[in-house]
Structure formats: C-alpha cells, structure tokens
Amino acid sequence: MVNIRERIARRAEKEVQDGFFVNLGIGMPTLVANYISEDKDVVLQSENGLLGIGPYPLKENVDPDLINAGKETVTAIKGASYFSSAESFAMIRGGHIDLAILGAMEVAENGDLANWMIPGKMIKGMGGAMDLVHGAKKVVIIMEHVNKKGEPKILKNCTLPLTGKAVVNRIITDRAVIDVTENGLKLIEVMDGFTVEDIKNSTEPELIIAEELL
C-alpha cells in the first residue's frame, strides 16, 4: 500500500520536466528523487554544494561523505559536480533553478509561505528556503493537507513566521492540487478517496473550483 508521503512525492514528480534543474527541500521533498522518470533528463541541486543528486543509496552503496542539505546520505549521477555553498547559492539567487519543491507548515491564500520555524521550538537554522522561494522560477509546496489536530494548513493568513511573501505557485497535498492565482486559490485536482466538498471543508480560504471538477 502506498503511504501518504510516497503518494504526494509521486504526484510532485509530475511537476518535474525534462531538462529542468531542480532543488528538493529537506524532508518529504527529497523523496521525489526516487520517482523521477528515466525518460526525463533532470539535474538535482543541493544548497550544500552538489549538482547531480541521484536516488537514495542502497545500504551497500552508502558514502558518509556524500550528503544533501538535510544531512541525508545520497548518491551522485554521472557528471555530477561539487562546489562551495557560496557557488550553490549564486545558482539559486541567479535564477538558474527551474523548480523548487519544498515542504511547509502553512501556506496562505495569497501564496505566503511559512516553513522554517515554530516559535519556542529549537531549530537548526533557516536553511536555503528563503533564497529558493525568490530565486527559483517556480515554487511547488508539498505537504499533508491538515495538521496532526486535523486543522487546515492552507489558511487565509499564515500564523507562523514567514519564509516568503506571495511566493508559492502550486500546493500538492495528500488530498488535492491547488494553484495560487491572482483571483485566489484554484482547486485543479482531487486525489482518490476525497471529494470537492472534502477539500473545501479542510481548507480555510474559499476555493475556485476548476471547471473539470464541477
């Protein structure tokens, strides 16, 4: 049985186009690397200085010196290159990343993103998300639709400290795919096992419903 995280990661893979340079955020987004189609020529970039990340390694292939930005061991594809984090962030800030797939704690209806800290809880640092949301050509958020209490994570306004204002283009959850548009949030896909009403009831802002879902 496909678990929720795998289900979301598989759907997120559809956002990755042939020829793209892609940055996968810490946590669930890194799973997307395992599902990228062999038909696509894609280069994955990591803030800590690796261009050309491969899938997670098998136990016998683990290299403790080869890690991603989340300090997880990874593999490198043929032709991969290594460089300083300064060069890595120059790639991001210079607009050379076609797509960033990031996790989130909250997303607002105008595309505001909160994904780096919860006040009062210990954090390792802000990471590269604040640069990615402004440097990447497209920002896709993947997350569960509701929190552990069953409360919406897609809100009218974020309550947590922001990573960026009006930076999100698309939200993919275990329940739906929602685009951030000038007119508001637009529901474009409903995942198996859910209905349009389910999505509306678990999302705080009003949703524009795509014609094909009506």
Inform me whether the pLDDT recorded for 1 exceeds 70: no
pLDDT of residue 125: 67
pLDDT of residue 146: 97
Query: Is 160:114 a contact under the CB 8 Å cutoff?
Result: yes
Which residue type does 75 have? T
Averaged pLDDT of the chain: 94
> Rounded to an integer, what distance in angstroms lies between the CA atom of residue 186 and that of residue 177?
9
Give the largest CA-CA distance in the chain.
51
> Rounded to an integer, what distance in angstroms lies between the CA atom of residue 71 and that of residue 145?
26
Residue range 107-125: average pLDDT?
A: 88
Half-sphere exposure of 28 (CA within 13 A, CB side): 25
Protein fold of 4-27+89-209: Glutaconate Coenzyme A-transferase (3.40.1080)
Helix (H, G, I), strand (E, B) or coil at 141: strand
What ranges do the domains of the chain cover? 4-27+89-209
Query: Is 199:190 a contact under the CB 8 Å cutoff?
Result: yes
Query: Catalytic residue positions?
Result: 47
32-41: per-residue pLDDT in tens?
999 999 999 9
Confidence of residue 2 (pLDDT cuts 50, 70, 90): low
pLDDT of residue 88: 96
Query: Is 94:135 a contact under the CB 8 Å cutoff?
Result: yes
> Rounded to an integer, what distance in angstroms lies between the CA atom of residue 172 and that of residue 9?
9
Query: Is 12:33 a contact under the CB 8 Å cutoff?
Result: no
Residue range 194-210: average pLDDT?
A: 98
Residue range 107-123: average pLDDT?
A: 90
Residue written as token pair 């014609």: 211
- Listed in sequence order, the residues at least 6 apart from 31 whose beta carbon sits closer than 8 Å to its beta carbon are 5, 6, 9
> Rounded to an integer, what distance in angstroms lies between the CA atom of residue 154 and that of residue 141?
11
pLDDT of residue 46: 93
Angstrom distances, CA of residue 145 to CA of 101, 135, 153, 160, 175: 16, 26, 6, 16, 6
Residue written as token pair 């505001």: 112
Helix (H, G, I), strand (E, B) or coil at 150: coil
Of 7, 67, 8, 79, the residue nearest 41 (C-alpha): 79
145-191: per-residue pLDDT in tens?
999 999 999 999 999 999 999 999 999 999 999 999 999 999 999 99
Inform me whether the pLDDT recorded for 23 exceeds 60: yes
